[in-house]
Structure 1
Amino acid sequence: MRNLRNLRGIIPALSTVMHEDGSIDEEGIRSLVRFNIEKGVHGFAVTIIAGEFYKLSDEERRRVFDLVIDEVNGKVPVFAGTSHTGTEPAIELSRYAEDAGADGVIVMPPFFVKRESELYLHEHFSRVANAVDLPVMIQDAEEFTGVTISSTLCSTLAAEHSNVFIIKVEGPRTLEKISEIRKLMGDGMVILGGMAARFLLEELEAGSQGSIPAGCLPELLVGVYNSHQSGDISGAKKTFALYKRWVDYLSLYPLLGIGLEKETERLRGIIKSSYTRGPKLDLQTNHTEALKKILAGIGMMAGS
């Protein structure tokens, strides 16, 4: 089993690539994996929010695990998103991921468990952690789930379970929570940011060790991270300024985020279709034209 206590870097949340009829595009997924590996990413997270896990059947999620694990072939860690509507299905999916060769699982709270139910959260994460030997990454996605995972609960779970030592933090208090967890746990928790890496530099300064962004502009974010790690803060800011032009546009359309990420991948020649499953809002011609202009301006269009 891979030692992930030193996990660092840019770990894209892969799109689940689809054909225009909505079926899974297996070669498209493989193409996206190869592209990201060529650009130097440090791992992958599959079938999480950006991967439309909530629109996939369990059978499809298992197939995506198999595809990505096979294509990666041990080059970097693969985290399988096993979030589900209840604890038992999450355990079943996590066990499948372990048997398939995933390096870890990433789990959100069930959506129905709200703020007043921290005992439920503790029970849910504990049972998943007890069910597998793999590292269990907690995904703290309050903005999406409406569920608060306190820094204290994270610390408690890590103290009780040797395989709970990674968290993805994204939400209205991201920077504050990163600092809280770092103060509580020191180096005992690997902290990764999210939210499309729009606050990557601030998160790194607050104590994060990387980010789980989309997989459409990996070379820019790997460049930002590597420059920051080497102490070249000026270079990191310069590269991030290019990425910011894209992520600022993404931020204008929060309901179109997954579609815009996939359309970026299509415009870059990585995948053939930017189809997303419902519920969704369709992209319009003006969105595609705006993306073309942004990508051309930062040298990220296909062939540039």
Structure 2
Amino acid sequence: MAALDTRPTPEGGPVAGDAAQLVRGVSPVLEVPFHADGAVDVEGFGRVVDYVLGTGVSSVMFPGFASEYHKLSEAERAELTEVLLSRTRDRADVAAIVAVQDHATRLAAHRARAVVDAGADLINLLPPHYLSPSRRAIQEHVGAVLAAVAPTAVVLQYAPSETGTSLDAATLRELAAEHPNLRLVKAESSPPGRLIAELASGQPALPAVEGYAGVQLPDAIRRGAVGTQPGCSFTEIYVEIWRRFASGDHAGGDELHRRLLPYISYWMLDTELIIAAEKLISVRRGLFADPYCREPGHRLDAEEIRMVDRFLAEFDGMLPHLG
């Protein structure tokens, strides 16, 4: 088993002077609450940020798929980003990872530079995927964004199930060799473990965090993952899983993940499904008022709602009410 990097886990202190070192352990992707009429619940989002930072994590990411980024207007996205950065820009112990998903290279580079200037600690870059750009075009796009924000650290998100984009370890290492600010890869291939191991063992070694709700988290850790980026409505469970592995209690980490797996493996059958389930969890916990998801989305049926309530009953001792 690869050595588990525990430097910025909740129990350890952050590594000073390098924001990328804060992206270790659990790095949740923030959800966006809406009012029942579909308007953004800005105050509720502030509570989401405060809750997640209060769990002891050292980094958060926004906006991602779990944030319904594709359903936000530019003004909404800017306002919510400022809510996040107002809570992180003056703190050395936490890093705000702000995501860039623009398809046009010019727009992606401009957005990345703007959010760095506004106080983002790192960029999460989703490569272009509409109309199946060539691998060379993807590399050129990624390279241009990396150059635009250098030396700010960048996390490259590899989500082939959602985007159809195909990259390999050799391509990613080539980009990292040319652009040293490519510091991490978010591996959401299914399963992610082999890519994580290939990245960790190459030259230059490229750390990876695991996504996809942590479905493959124990295997990813054993293959060298330095962190995980799940959703945020039950962050405490992921923090405890990571704590157990980091402390050497692999059996305990496996056992807690085994209990979680029936829920996340079902919810991750569809991205819109897990967004809806996590929002209902947050409402049940008192974090915000309404589980509304902007259409098109997944509407939980009666059995899926009961599943959420079974989940909350099973993990009641780990998930305090937040209202």
C-alpha distance in structure 1 between counterparts of 2:286 and 2:17, whole Å: 32
Query: Residue 113 of structure 1: CA displacement?
Result: 5.5
Could you say if the C-alpha distance between residues 126 and 99 of structure 1 is closer, same or farther in structure 2, counting changes exceeding 3 Å? same
Could you say if the C-alpha distance between residues 206 and 26 of structure 1 is closer, same or farther in structure 2, counting changes exceeding 3 Å? same
Give the aligned partner of residue 311 of structure 2: 294
**TM-score, structure 1 as length reference:** 0.93
Give the aligned partner of residue 34 of structure 1: 50
**TM-score, structure 2 as length reference:** 0.87
What SS is found at the alignment partner of 1:80? strand
Report the aligned-residue RMSD: 2.0
Give the aligned partner of residue 10 of structure 2: none
Unaligned runs of 5+ in 1: none
CA shift digits 1:250-296 (9 cap, x unpaired): 13555412111111111111121221112213223332222112211
C-alpha distance in structure 2 between counterparts of 1:59 and 1:244, whole Å: 37
CA shift digits 1:208-255 (9 cap, x unpaired): 101100001111111111111111112212322332243134135554
- Aligned residue among 143, 163, 166 for 2:184: 166
Segment of structure 1 superposing worse, 55-64 or 125-134: 55-64
Give the aligned partner of residue 80 of structure 1: 98
C-alpha distance in structure 1 between counterparts of 2:289 and 2:231, whole Å: 17
Give the aligned partner of residue 62 of structure 1: 78
Give the aligned partner of residue 29 of structure 2: 13
Percent of paired sites with the same residue: 26
Give the aligned partner of residue 128 of structure 1: 145
Q: Is the 8 A contact 2:199 2:207 kept in 1?
A: no
Kindly provide the amino acid, as one letter, of the partner of residue 146 in structure 1: G
Q: What is the aligned length?
A: 302
- Aligned residue among 144, 168, 172 for 1:150: 168
What SS is found at the alignment partner of 2:268? helix
Give the aligned partner of residue 194 of structure 1: 211
C-alpha distance in structure 2 between counterparts of 1:238 and 1:23, whole Å: 40
Q: Does 1:25 align with 2:25?
A: no
Unaligned runs of 5+ in 2: 1-15
- Aligned residue among 237, 247, 256 for 2:273: 256
Q: Is the 8 A contact 1:65 1:102 kept in 2?
A: no
Kindly provide the amino acid, as one letter, of the partner of residue 157 in structure 1: L
Give the aligned partner of residue 240 of structure 1: 257
